[in-house]
Structure formats: C-alpha cells, structure tokens
Amino acid sequence: MPQWNIIQAVNDALRIEMKRDPRVVLLGEDIGKFGGVFRATAGLYEEFGETRVIDTPLAEGGIIGAAIGMAMYGLKPVPEIQFSDFIFPAFDQIVNELGKLRYRSGGQYSAPLVIRTPVGGGIKGGHYHSQSPEALFIHAGGLQVVCPSNPVDAKGLLLSAIRGEDPVLFLEPKRVYRAAKGEVPEGDYTIPIGEAKVVREGKGMTVLAYGAMLHEAEAACAESPDLDAELIDLRTLWPLDLETVTRSVQKTGRCAIVHEAPRSCGFGAEIAALVQERCFYHLEAPILRIAGWDTPFPYTLENDYLPLAPRIRKGLGELRGRRP
C-alpha cells in the first residue's frame, strides 16, 4: 500500500468518485488549473475537464448557493471553501437553506453535497486562517460534520460522504495535511460516518479528540503511560458515536475532551453534557475540557493558544488526581 498524506488521500478519493459517478463535480476558488491552494485537487482539471472541475470567483455565498442548486437537480457537487475562516459569507446558505431543505420540503427535496474546507491553526496563518468553526454548524442542525485525523480515514470518510444523501461539512485539519502519513489502501473503500475509533485502549481515563489534536493527545498519552488512558478519535462529530464514548467512560470513570476551538460553547461542552447525562454514576471526577482560549486566534502566540501535548499531559495528570 502507498504511504500517503491527507492531501494525497483526499485527492485519490475525489478521483475515484469522479470516475465512478459522472454526477460528481468540483467547484471552488483556484481548484482547477492551479490544483487548489493546498494542492488537494491537483491533476483533476486535466483529467476531467473544466465542466467537472470548476474555478469560481472569490464568492463563498455564490459557491455554496450554486452547489445547492446543482445538488437539488441531480448532481453531486463537492465545493471547496479555501479556508474555513472564509465560510462565514456562505453561513446563510449552509444553515438556512442547505441544512433545512429536506425538513422544510417535508422530505420532497434534498441537497446531497459535501463541503470540503481546511480547518484549524498551526501554519502561522493568524486569526483569519486558523479558526475551527465546527460547533456553529453542529448547533444549526441538518448537517453531518466530519473531521478525520489521518489519510486512511480521510479517504474512506470522504467517499462515504460523497455517496450519501445528506449534506456534509468535511473538515480537513490543515496542520497535519502533510505531516500525518500512513499506508492507505489503493482503490475503493469506505468508512461509515458516525463511528468513532479507539486509537489506544486503557482503563485509567477516556480522552476524546479529533482532527489535528488527536495527534497531540496521542503524544500526551504515550508520554504518560502511567495514566493508562483510552484515546478515542471521534472522526465524525455529528452524528456523534455516543455509544463508543459512553462505553469507554463507564469503564474508566474519567473523561477529558481535547479540541483547538475556543473552550466556551465549543463542541467539547456538548460532549461533556452528553457524557454527564449518561455516565453520571460512573464518573469519579469532573469532566475536563482542554481547548483553545476564548480569544481570536493569535499569530505570534499560536503555540500557546493550541492545546499541544505538554498542556494536554498536564491536564490529564490533574484529572487523574481529581475527585467529584
């Protein structure tokens, strides 16, 4: 099997699905001849042509609005938003139109499309190129939200997302676009949306993470084997694999949630509430959230903002000693 990074895995998934299904079209800023700012669509314009790999103006609302129309009339569009920070001009189209279309039409219409966008910090992008907006879209309802941490999952989940009949926000952690590498099966395979993965088994505590922070949490757990932490990669944020999470927390009695979005009203807050509702009598300590700070994402201090392995390790050590 080839050793690929996330960019290569995403590119291969798009190519496979465009060959398999002629309804699949790509659209976005600079995705055609240039191959995308991160090169995720490199070579697809030359292979499939300008009618299926469409360069668009810098107008996110227009990109998503056009994609919704395409999906309603039978195509399978995969629009790319160049950075997740620029998705907000299309927020209305996504949450008020795309996420509500099936509901408001009583099931008569749907818009099966996948919005790809890079998320998170770690590339010295400053506050306009480093945000993690997943909680905003989960809160709005009607959308599936996926965030893989590695190339194997990126390819399998993207193929599942494109083949589904639901609108999906596919968040790609750009900090590990090329750093996360692994053996990726060639050819066609899928990973079901809605299934988390136990990356490391343990009995001392449950650690939940996703995207780029999965790797930081994994390093923190590896550096502190005495914690006996069970690490779970959520992979799919919504629908959340609550069964796997609950089973783990009921076994370990302690739970920590790691994400790089701001702590207040971040997705970790919802996970904490769900865990508390289902595991209250099993908890031996308060649920811990290790997250970004409640500020705009800083440029020069991004390593202080991100919950990297040393801060995670410190938090997990404190969690082990805490009591209800």
Torsion of CA 159, 164, 167, 171, to 10 degrees: -20
* Alpha-carbon span 250 to 137, nearest angstrom: 29
Distances (CA, A) of 314 to 30, 97, 131, 227: 42, 43, 24, 11
Active site residue 129: yes
* Rounded distance between C-alpha atoms, residue 114 and residue 145, angstroms: 10
> Minimal CA–CA distance to 174: which of 106, 246, 128, 123?
123
Which bin fits 235, alpha (ψ -120 to 50), beta or left (φ > 0)? Answer: left
Q: Record the tokens describing residue 224, joined without a space.
A: 């502190």
Neighbours of 39 (CB within 10 A): 16
The residues, ordered by sequence, that sit 6+ positions from 271 with a Cβ below 8 Å of its Cβ are 208, 240, 245, 257
CB 173, CB 119: distance < 8 Å: yes
d(CA 188, CA 132): 30
Query: Which residue of the set 129, 139, 259, 282 is catalytic?
Result: 129
Q: Quick one: which of 9, 15, 2, 1 has its CA closest to 178?
A: 9
Active site residues: 129
